[in-house]
Structure 1
Amino acid sequence: MNVTAQELSLFLEDEVATENLGRGLATVVVQAGQRATVFLEGNLGTGKTTLSRGVMRGLGHEGAVKSPTYTIVEPYEHLSPPAYHFDLYRLGDPEELEYMGIRDYFQGQCLCLIEWPERGQGILPEPDLWIRLSVNGDGRRALVSAVTVVGAGLQASLAAIPLSSYRG
């Protein structure tokens, strides 16, 4: 189901602001009490992993948050909700996801963040939110699009967070 909604456009002035957007996303997912799948799109260096780090810290993770570039998935099952951070950059073929049992990660109440989702096309489920990050001057631009009804609720909750929260 595609939801046609206005894109939420946010200017993120620095790494702290990008991480704060992730923390905000974690907050609205917890408040919604639903599972969520979020696609993170952007060129190398646009802040996808930084945003993911903010999500994990917003959910209470205190350790390092590394990019799962080589492992494809980094599980954070100790969090509530359990969270999974995927990086499909090095994926050779979307079918590889089937071999790792990707569908199992989308069961139950969890949060799945997926970097480079286009590399899993045809295998990945539809996202609830699609966040596109790009360089914008000295900062970043985040375009947040709702794809599902769940995503529309998350997007509306993100829009209600004061913009000052996304400043470093």
Structure 2
Amino acid sequence: MAYTLFEFPLADEAATGALATQIAGRLKPGDTLLLEGEIGAGKSAFARALIRARLGRIEDVPSPTFTLVQTYEDAAGDIWHCDLYRLSHPDEALELGLDEAFETAICLVEWPDRLGDVAPKTALTLAFVAQHDQHHVTVSGPAFWADRLRGLDA
């Protein structure tokens, strides 16, 4: 069962990056983050900042809109950044190898609605909303995430 754990205002891209950096250090292989929100809501900015924080360096992190998946080698295990916007059926996600990645990598999934029932039940969901010049994110997931994310601030 998923619970709303936190809600944060995101004043700008720097605030989005700061939140991503805080979450990055709390992730381990087998964790999946489902990044929901319309185009321009902050999903890719969050993913880019999280990947750079995990890698500890400035890395070119293009949106995987056309490639569907970009992978990055992290000391703790691979990071998969996925953009499933162009998929039309959950089976296509399985063809990409996501089922195995969900168990062995840190996965950041944009447009997770394309996963259907394939989405991991243990995933953390970040729902980004952009209204006028205000952005915010609602973080929800299974109860165990509350302890792992304790102390976050944005």
- Distance in 2 between residues matched to 1:34 and 1:153, nearest whole Å: 17
The verdict on how the C-alpha distance between 1:67 and 1:79 changes in structure 2, with shifts beyond 3 A counting, is: farther
Structure 2: runs of 5+ lacking an equivalent:
none
The verdict on how the C-alpha distance between 1:46 and 1:3 changes in structure 2, with shifts beyond 3 A counting, is: closer
TM-score of the pair, normalised by structure 2: 0.88
Counterpart in 1 of 2:102? 106
The answer on whether the counterparts of 1:129 and 1:148 sit within 8 Å (CA) in structure 2 is no
User: What is the identity, as a one-letter code, of the residue corresponding to 1:8?
Assistant: F
**Cα deviation 1:5-56 (Å, max 9, x = unaligned):** x431100100111111111110222xxx563111110000000000001111
* Percent of aligned pairs with the same amino acid: 31
Structure 1: runs of 5+ lacking an equivalent:
none
Listed as ranges, the matches of 1:1-150 within 5 Å are 2-4=1-3, 6-29=4-27, 33=28, 35-59=30-54, 60-108=56-104, 110-147=105-142, 149=144
TM-score of the pair, normalised by structure 1: 0.81
Q: Which has the higher strand share?
A: 2
Alignment RMSD (CA, Å): 1.9
Aligned residues: 153
User: What is the identity, as a one-letter code, of the residue corresponding to 1:87?
Assistant: D
The verdict on how the C-alpha distance between 1:153 and 1:20 changes in structure 2, with shifts beyond 3 A counting, is: same
- Distance in 2 between residues matched to 1:61 and 1:153, nearest whole Å: 27
